[in-house]
């Protein structure tokens, strides 16, 4: 029997409606609109599209997302000046640094210049450390936080499960693995040196894929009935596709996110959730 398709758009939309009420409450109590600034260096097409989607999500909830685009040939020092300026601006509650940065700009240095309480996409080493420590002050990266929200909303119990995460980047795979561990899952993390990816995949009740390789995960890598979350964003012949060979895996899995319309929409909602948290922190509550 074919897997149930997880409707990420509908689930995100319902969450957004809830957040809209929280945003309205925050504004009426404080007279302040939660706001994020999206910092982009260069005009990478995917990043521009993503920023537009974030703006729409924030507008729908009554919050503000603005964009600051710096030229692709900007020097690292100038980017740092802008980050510090945003850190010091009390009307900016959250700063989201868009990846990828042009070659030659040091991601870690620039990301770590963001004040951790304003780091609404959880890119600083401080927030990654707080996440690892299970500290409630952590700002969790929006993409893996969205994955965890999806699991919760569809009623998949992480506690006691076996999970496999394909990918170990500090923005998706690694923090997702940390969050699953915190949720009492037993987690295998795979990467390009993993000797038997198929076996690791087949062992998982929850299979999360964030490798950025179209069709990496095939039907023989999936346990029958597993929950499969596909975070991949790839363009094949101009068509957006995930990391999972959807047409064959859908016949094996129990439930699966499509691409598009799976994990992506919840990412923006989690970014808004973190921005509201940052705004509350900024006002001392």
> Which of 64, 87, 194, 203 contacts ligand NAP by CB under 6 A?
194
Segment interacting with ligand NAP (CB under 6 A) among 13-21, 31-39, 61-69, 190-198: 190-198
Minimum CB separation of residue 230 from ligand NAP in Å reads: 8
Among positions 223-262, residues that touch ligand NAP (CB under 6 A) are 231-234
Q: Which two tokens stand for residue 101?
A: 């940065």
SS3 of residue 12 by DSSP: helix
> Which of 73, 192, 236, 238 contacts ligand NAP by CB under 6 A?
192
Burial class (CB in 10 A: 0-12, 13-18, 19+), 103: exposed
Our finding on whether 211 is near ligand NAP (CB under 6 A) is: yes
Distance (Å, rounded) from C-alpha 247 to C-alpha 249?
6
Among positions 126-165, residues that touch ligand NAP (CB under 6 A) are 143
Minimum CB separation of residue 147 from ligand NAP in Å reads: 8
Our finding on whether 61 is near ligand NAP (CB under 6 A) is: no
Rounded to the nearest 5°, which phi and psi values hold at 37?
A: -110, 125
Tell me which residue has tokens 């060979």. 245
Minimum CB separation of residue 143 from ligand NAP in Å reads: 4
> Which of 263, 272, 276, 282 contacts ligand NAP by CB under 6 A?
263
189 forms beta bridges with 165
* CA torsion, ordered 4, 8, 9, 14, to nearest 10 deg: 100
> Which of 54, 216, 271, 276 contacts ligand NAP by CB under 6 A?
216
> What are all long-range contacts of 61-64, with beta carbons under 8 Å and residues at least 24 apart?
61/16, 61/19, 61/20, 61/23, 61/272, 62/20, 62/23, 62/24, 62/27, 62/33, 63/23, 63/33, 63/34, 63/35, 63/36, 63/272, 63/275, 63/276, 64/33, 64/34, 64/35, 64/36
Our finding on whether 271 is near ligand NAP (CB under 6 A) is: no
Minimum CB separation of residue 171 from ligand NAP in Å reads: 5
Helical (H) or strand (E) element with 240: strand 239-241
Minimum CB separation of residue 163 from ligand NAP in Å reads: 15
> Which of 206, 210, 228, 282 contacts ligand NAP by CB under 6 A?
210
Interaction site with ligand NAP (CB under 6 A): 143, 166-169, 171-173, 190-194, 197, 210-213, 216, 231-234, 263-264, 267
């Amino acid at each position: 029997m074919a897997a149930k398709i997880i409707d990420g758009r509908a689930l995100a939309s319902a969450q957004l409606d809830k957040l809209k009420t929280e945003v309205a409450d925050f504004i009426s109590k404080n007279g302040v609109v939660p706001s994020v600034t999206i910092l982009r260096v260069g005009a990478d097409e995917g990043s521009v599209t993503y920023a537009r989607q974030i703006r729409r999500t924030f507008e729908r909830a009554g919050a503000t997302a603005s964009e600051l685009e710096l030229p692709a040939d900007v020097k690292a020092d100038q980017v740092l000046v802008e980050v510090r300026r945003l850190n010091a601006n009390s009307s900016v509650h959250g700063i989201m640094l868009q990846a990828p940065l042009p070659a030659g700009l040091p991601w870690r240095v620039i990301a770590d210049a963001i004040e951790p309480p304003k780091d609404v996409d959880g890119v600083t080493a401080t927030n990654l450390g707080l996440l690892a420590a299970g500290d409630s002050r952590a700002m969790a990266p929006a993409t893996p936080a969205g994955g965890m929200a999806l699991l919760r909303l569809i009623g998949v119990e992480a506690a006691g499960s076996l999970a496999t995460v394909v990918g170990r980047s500090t923005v998706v795979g690694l923090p997702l693995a940390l969050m699953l561990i915190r949720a009492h899952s037993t987690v295998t993390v795979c990467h390009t040196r993993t000797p038997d990816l198929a076996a690791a995949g087949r062992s998982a009740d929850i299979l999360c894929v964030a490798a950025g390789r179209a069709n990496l995960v095939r039907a023989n890598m999936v346990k029958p009935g597993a929950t499969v979350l596909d975070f991949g964003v790839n363009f094949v012949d101009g068509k957006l596709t995930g990391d999972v060979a959807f047409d064959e895996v859908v016949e094996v899995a129990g439930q699966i996110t499509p691409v598009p319309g799976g994990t992506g929409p919840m990412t923006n909602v989690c970014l808004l959730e973190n921005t509201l948290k940052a705004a509350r922190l900024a006002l001392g509550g």
